[in-house]
Amino acid sequence: MGVLRSGMRPLSSLILSNIVRYALLIIGGVICFVPLGWMLSTSLKMPGTEFIFPPNLIPRPVVWSNYIDAVTRPGHPFFLYTRNSVVITFLATLGTVLTSSFVAFGFARIRFRGRDFWFIVLLSTLMLPDVVRLIPSFILFKLLGWIDTLLPLIVPFWFGVNAFYVFLIRQYFRTIPLELDEAALMDGAAYVRIYWQVILPISGPVLGAVTIFSVLSHWNDFLGPLIYTNSVDLRTLALGLRFFMSRTGTDWNQLMAASILMLAPILVLFFSMQRYFIRGIHMTGFGGR
Amino acid sequence: MAIIRSMLGSRTQLRRDFLGYMFIAPWLVGFILFTAGPMVGLVYLAFTRYPVLSPPTFNGLDNLDRMLGDRFFTISLWNTAYFTFLGVPAQVVWALMLALLLNMRVHGVNVFRTLYYLPTIIPGVASVFLWMYIFNPDYGLANYILSLFGVPGQAWLWDPELSKPSLIIMELWRVGTMMVVFLAGLQGVPQSLYDAAAIDGAGRFAQFRHVTVPLITPLIFFNLVVGIISSFQIFTAAYIATQGGPVHTTLFYVLFVYRHAFENLRMGYASLLAWVLFFIILVFTIVQFRMARIWVFYEVE
């Protein structure tokens, strides 16, 4: 229909309107890209030249040493920070995907008494601001002796605490025909098998979307590690970045290089799973925070 | 027979109940341990003095008393309200504009979709540092761009007048989630409606005003609600970039709570403050849902 409409208009006005469209798209693109380009450019500048005003938009000369300096800073074990971030992100995401889908299976496919009530309770936790959970959780973890360990950043996610993911997966599970699991009187083990061998394998899109949301949120989390850990050995990348800044001055080149290194795996994930991601958002009509 | 059948029926139901609770057990346990339990604890703590190192002692309404006389409570509320009520509408408008651009039918629009979304996946901390550098009064990119237009340089985050607007600009850069939500909605508007409007002589703007906007009001509403809830909780930017300054102009509510809880070790007082934020968010969400009945248009009713 759109083709028909534009087909009726003269060619010259079609070309003109396309030029306007591209011009607008490019203006928006420049606004989105300039800060990122600035980050990249700063990370490649010779130390010292980042303080020049007016600034050079293109680094001259291009140096890579900032990246090496950033990961070998004395007293700031970059690779250890990376390992901590990887461990937390991996274990928390694994727990999130497994338990959210397990719980979602119950809500989506078994008609038990009290189901609607608990589902509403689940949804209402979406409205709870994190800060309300923060203080009592801190006290709980303190009682458990978990402060200054990585446990508070991992264990809660093995209990399906993120209602949004449970909701997302449940919506998807409900689109799968029920015949499979209602056919016979079965015991619990059979149900678990259906969840594991029938439902999960055909739920790639939604599990992919949840994986991306979860990886992003754990990799980028700042407040959690800030509150629950103290030791240098337990710092995550998000926390570690802060120590490029000091009262005596900031190594902007190194800071930007470290930021790019932190961003790189996320970019790879984003580009390789972009399809799932977009579909995940379309599935519910909205995305995660 | 009938009795046996009804017993059988109830046995099936019992089995379903058992299976259902077996599956939701992880969440149920987590909910009690990490949400419900802590929240009940938080109610109690709000009425105590709790310096963390020693156990909480009940002190009645002392915390409430303290809050009502606390100048910084008012300041942090004002700062948060300013940031939210200027920032979130700006984000919604900007995200909608970007989504409209991305909804145009031109070749290669997918490349732009990725590009526009990219800032949103940047780690929050990295984004804050990047903008601190951009806003640097002496050698930042922002002042360079101003200088191209002959505008004198600003102190941005370090200027009490500009600190909050600077943070709003920073957040505007990362509206990707809102934008994708709008884009999904725009793609759901049937072309036939535009064609019908065009036949009636509606121009581009009239089509936008009378076809597009009414159909995406549910998404505007959703973005406003979610945007306000998350904007009330701004923390990282203020904690890292401005530490609440200059002259308390970026002392936002969660930073204020954080300082009392984890720096001054006044957990009791901080618990009350956390509850107050919860009620503020709850009230705003309810008010928005009430107002939605007037302006949000649902197709199926």
B110-141 residue pLDDT tens: 889 888 988 988 999 999 999 999 999 988 89
- Which pLDDT belongs to residue A288? 33
Q: How many CB atoms lie within 10 A of CB A179?
A: 7
Contacts of A219 (CB under 8 A, 6+ apart): A85, A89, A237, A238, A262, A265, A266, B123
Residues facing A250 on adjacent strands: A245
Average pLDDT along chain B? 89
B31-59 residue pLDDT tens: 998 888 888 888 899 999 988 888 888 98
What are the sequence ranges of the domains in chain A?
2-70, 77-284
Is B129's CB within 8 Å of A25's CB?
no
- Which pLDDT belongs to residue A270? 85
Is A188's CB within 8 Å of B123's CB?
no
Which CATH number does the domain B62-295 belong to among 3.40.50.460, 3.40.50.1580, 3.40.50.920, 1.10.3720.10? Answer: 1.10.3720.10
- Which pLDDT belongs to residue B73? 95
**Complete DSSP assignment for A125-176:** GGGS-HHHHHHHHHHHHHHHT-TTSSGGGTGGGGGT--HHHHHHHHHHHTTS
B226 touches chain A (CB under 8 A): yes
Distance CA B223, CA B93 (A): 10
Residue B301 — very low, low, confident or very high, per pLDDT cuts 50/70/90? very low
Residues facing B56 on adjacent strands: none
- Which pLDDT belongs to residue A13? 79
- Which pLDDT belongs to residue A272? 85
- Which pLDDT belongs to residue A238? 93
Cα-based torsion angle of the residue sequence A285, A281, B124, B130 in order, rounded to the nearest 10 degrees = -100
Q: Which residues of B touch A257 (CB under 8 A)?
A: none
Distance CA B192, CA A243 (A): 56
Is B34's CB within 8 Å of A133's CB?
yes
Which CATH number does the domain A77-284 belong to among 3.40.50.300, 1.10.3720.10, 3.40.50.2020, 2.60.40.680? Answer: 1.10.3720.10
- Which pLDDT belongs to residue A287? 37
Q: Look at residue B252 and tell me whether its pLDDT is greater than 90.
A: yes
Q: Which residues of A touch B219 (CB under 8 A)?
A: 285-286
Q: Look at residue B74 and tell me whether its pLDDT is greater than 60.
A: yes
Distance CA B163, CA B244 (A): 10
Q: Which residues of B touch A17 (CB under 8 A)?
A: none
More confident residue, B71 or B187: B71
A18, A53, A135 ranked by CB distance to B106: nearest: A18
What are the sequence ranges of the domains in chain B?
2-45, 62-295
- Which pLDDT belongs to residue B5? 55
Q: What is chain B's Cα-based Rg?
A: 25
Instruction: Tell me the average pLDDT across B236-244.
Output: 91
Is B139's CB within 8 Å of A29's CB?
no
- Work out the burial of residue A263: count CB atoms within 10 Å of its CB; fewer than 13 is exposed, 13-18 middle, 19 or more buried: buried
A151-171 residue pLDDT tens: 999 999 999 778 889 988 888
Distance CA A288, CA A280 (A): 10
**Where on the phi/psi map is residue B97: left (φ > 0), alpha (ψ -120 to 50), or beta?**
alpha
Distance CA B174, CA B117 (A): 8
B153-194 residue pLDDT tens: 899 999 999 999 999 999 999 998 899 889 888 888 888 888
Q: Do residues B56 and B268 touch, judged by C-beta distance below 8 A?
A: yes
- Which pLDDT belongs to residue B4? 55
Residue B280's closest chain A neighbor by CA? A129
Contacts of A138 (CB under 8 A, 6+ apart): A147, A227, A228, B261, B262
B269-293 residue pLDDT tens: 999 999 999 999 989 888 988 888 8
Q: Which residues of B touch A220 (CB under 8 A)?
A: 123-125
Note down pLDDT in tens along chain A; length 289 residues.
444 444 456 777 778 888 988 999 999 999 888 899 999 999 998 887 777 777 877 888 888 999 998 888 888 899 999 999 999 999 999 999 999 999 999 999 888 889 999 999 998 888 788 888 888 888 889 989 999 999 999 999 999 778 889 988 888 888 887 766 555 556 777 888 888 888 898 888 888 888 988 999 999 999 999 999 999 899 999 999 988 887 677 888 899 999 999 999 999 988 888 777 666 666 654 433 2
- Which pLDDT belongs to residue A118? 94
Amino acid at A283: M
Q: How far is B163 from chain A (nearest CA, A)?
A: 19
- Which pLDDT belongs to residue A3? 45
Is B180's CB within 8 Å of A130's CB?
no
